[in-house]
Amino acid sequence: MKTLKISILLLFIMAVGNAQNYPTGKSLLDKVDNNMSAKTRILTAKMEIADLRATRTMISKSYTIGDKKAYTEYLAPAREKGTKMLKLEDRLWIYSPSTDRTIQISGHMMRQSVMGSDMSYEDMMNDKPLLEQYKADVTGEETVDGRKCWVVLLTAIIPDVSYFTQKMWIDQEKFVPLKIEAYAKGGKLLKRTTLTNVQRIQGRWFPMSMVYKDMLKQGEGTKMTIQEVQLDANIPANYFNLGNLK
Amino acid sequence: MTVFLQSYMSGIFADSIETTAKFSSGHVKVMTEAYKENQTQIPNDYAIMGIAGVMKNLKTTYPDMAWIDRIQFGGLLDAPDSAGMTRSQGNVMGMGIHLLGNQDEITRMDLKSKLLTGRFPVKKGEVLITDELFRKMNLKLGDKVTLISNSMYGDMAMYNFKVCGTLHFGTAALDKGMIMADIEDVRVALNMENAAGEVLGFFNDSPYVDSKAKELSSEFNKDNSKKSDQFSLTMLPMSGIGGMDFIIAYSENAQYIIIFIFVFAMSIVLWNAGLVGGLRRYGEFGLRLAIGENKHEIYRSLIGESILVGLIGSFIGISIGLVFAWLMQHYGLDTSGMMKNSNMMLPSIIRAQITTTTYFIGFIPGVLSTVIGAMLAGIGVYKRQTANLFKELEG
């Protein structure tokens, strides 16, 4: 009995000791933000959507100011060329050149897939800082693609979040998430994102390749490769105007 | 009455099944394995690709059937204001069918009787929408509307239509938000080039026969369907499509249940008639026994007479019933006025259907009941005592 008590006490001390060596979840997320956030971003990206029948490739160019304003124009393929999206705060519009119509995406349409990819409009629109939506706890250390990572468990603290919990593997040196898993309240894995090819861009570490996988969809997922990135570049204000969509 | 009721019930059930077949299920339906598994969700991402080749093969292999490709879809219909921004929106269920070039689908689905205002599409980009949705979205004929849906690849698809007519189905689920456009328009709208969600097959020479449809499906699936390949083609008989098995089994048996109840009631009436007839001849039997006729002979002659009377009566009854049944089959009963606000999907003209059963079902109450009545009444013959006959006759 005495041995058992000592063992439990030792395990407790070890656990507390280990936890004390971990950084706090908040400090880690702040470091990720400091590394990856920029005042403005201009990205040219290639999106490869591998569904059950074929892989489709799209090229888009997006202009972002902070996390509130974003404008994206699709450059290829021909069917999607000229399609534009404008995000202002929590509102999203899409312009379709074939119909010459601008439609605001709202309600259940937000759960639809962006251009058939594994990403939903809701995912795209979620711009609230993670710490305003989740409690962050560092739960351990793991290696992802040969890189040592902190494992951070995010648990929702507000009711209207898309994913009740998220698990994030954050590179211990570059402070870039290398893997993110999003779960439903019942524990079902809904989305998995893997981020690779982390490069130094204008003094920041930036993942140049991402694979989004909607776990409820068949297919291999959506691969996004950043072809060109400019951080803190000057973006004309008229890009974020509804009138600019047509 | 039995003859008329049987043909009327057969007609109602056959019409309901045919209406459902023509509108949504076909006598058989060809789709991909994965589409079949998720068909309630209309998964066009599992649509049949290379539909031109598939249609050609089906028409060559099964020339006795009529084959037609269709696309079902869901989405939002958006009407713009003068600035091109959303004025009104409505959730829609849509159907892409062959509307341009020939009238086959219009005739098959009896759409002429459902067209309330306007006309059918005569050129690309025209759409029919239900009157209820038309009013709800505050539209006018000729207005531009944009369909917002998902393409076959899962991305958002937008396509402009011009409203050319309104429909009324008389079924709440459809009237709430059904739209119909030419299948080629829907293919462009949903990025479904040379694809279709499903192919419907109809027997050219007969209405739906479950055993025939099952046999055809099993023959087709033996050569085409592979459980391991979700894009392989599979054929389902109408009875295998979402709940239709119960309706078909019900239609096959319900008429007999109803007829049985009716025949049973009629039998009691005719049985009583036979019984009363036998009792009224009490004196006659006594006299015949008194002059030396055998009891068995009297009983046999009584039954023989009842068979003859039953046959003649049934023949006359069936002939009269058939006349009314034929009139109902030929001319039908136009219920379109009564069904305007109905929630049932029934043809606008209800018709009877004379089947083989119609010709003999009248004999069941007609002959059986009179014979049973006579047999029961005739038992009394054996209870008569020769010694008491003259005493009875005197009385």
Q: Does residue A238 lie within any of the structural domains?
A: yes
Which positions in chain B touch A109 (Cβ < 8 Å)?
76, 148, 156
Q: Does residue A176 lie within any of the structural domains?
A: yes
| Binding-site residues on chain A for chain B (CB distance < 8 A) | 49, 51-53, 56, 79-80, 94, 96, 98-104, 109, 112-117
> Residue B217 in contact with residue B65, Cβ under 8 Å?
no
Q: Determine whether the interchain pair B146/A101 forms a contact, defined as Cβ–Cβ distance below 8 Å.
A: yes
Q: Determine whether the interchain pair A51/B150 forms a contact, defined as Cβ–Cβ distance below 8 Å.
A: no
Q: Does residue A10 lie within any of the structural domains?
A: no
pLDDT at B12: 74
Which positions in chain A touch B84 (Cβ < 8 Å)?
100-102
**Nearest-CA neighbor of B62 among B22, B30, B96?**
B30
Q: Determine whether the interchain pair B154/A51 forms a contact, defined as Cβ–Cβ distance below 8 Å.
A: yes
Helix or strand holding residue A129 (H, E): none
- Residue A143 sits in which domain range? 24-245
pLDDT classification of B391: cutoffs 50, 70, 90 = low
Q: Does residue A95 lie within any of the structural domains?
A: yes
Q: Determine whether the interchain pair B146/A103 forms a contact, defined as Cβ–Cβ distance below 8 Å.
A: yes
pTM of the entire structure? Answer: 0.73
Q: Does residue A14 lie within any of the structural domains?
A: no
Q: Does residue A86 lie within any of the structural domains?
A: yes
Mean model confidence pLDDT for chain A: 87
B284 or B184, higher pLDDT: B184
Alpha helices for chain B (secondary structure H): 2-20, 33-37, 51-61, 104-108, 131-136, 172-175, 183-189, 210-224, 244-280, 282-290, 295-330, 356-361, 363, 369-383, 386-394
pLDDT classification of A187: cutoffs 50, 70, 90 = very high
Cα separation, A19 vs A7, whole angstroms? 18
> Residue B277 in contact with residue B374, Cβ under 8 Å?
yes
User: Look-up: residue for tokens 């328009």?
Assistant: B185
Look at residue B264 and tell me whether its pLDDT is greater than 70.
yes
Write the CATH number for A145.
2.50.20.10
Please give the span between the terminal C-alpha atoms of chain A, in angstroms, as a whole number. 78
Q: Determine whether the interchain pair B78/A56 forms a contact, defined as Cβ–Cβ distance below 8 Å.
A: no
Q: Does residue A13 lie within any of the structural domains?
A: no
Which positions in chain A touch B46 (Cβ < 8 Å)?
52
> Residue A212 in contact with residue A221, Cβ under 8 Å?
yes
B144 or A124, higher pLDDT: B144
Domain ranges of chain B: 28-207, 246-394
Cα distances (angstroms) measured from residue B235 to each of A53, B27, B48, B142, B222: 21, 10, 12, 39, 10
Per-residue pLDDT tens digits for B216-244: 999 999 999 888 899 999 999 998 876 67
Per-residue pLDDT tens digits for A9-39: 545 444 444 555 789 999 999 999 888 878 8
ipTM topping 0.85: no
CA dihedral of B378, B374, B307, B357, whole degrees rounded to 10: -150
- Please count the structural domains in chain A: 1
Look at residue A184 and tell me whether its pLDDT is greater than 60.
yes
Give the pairing type, strands B178-182 and B86-97: parallel
Q: Does residue A135 lie within any of the structural domains?
A: yes
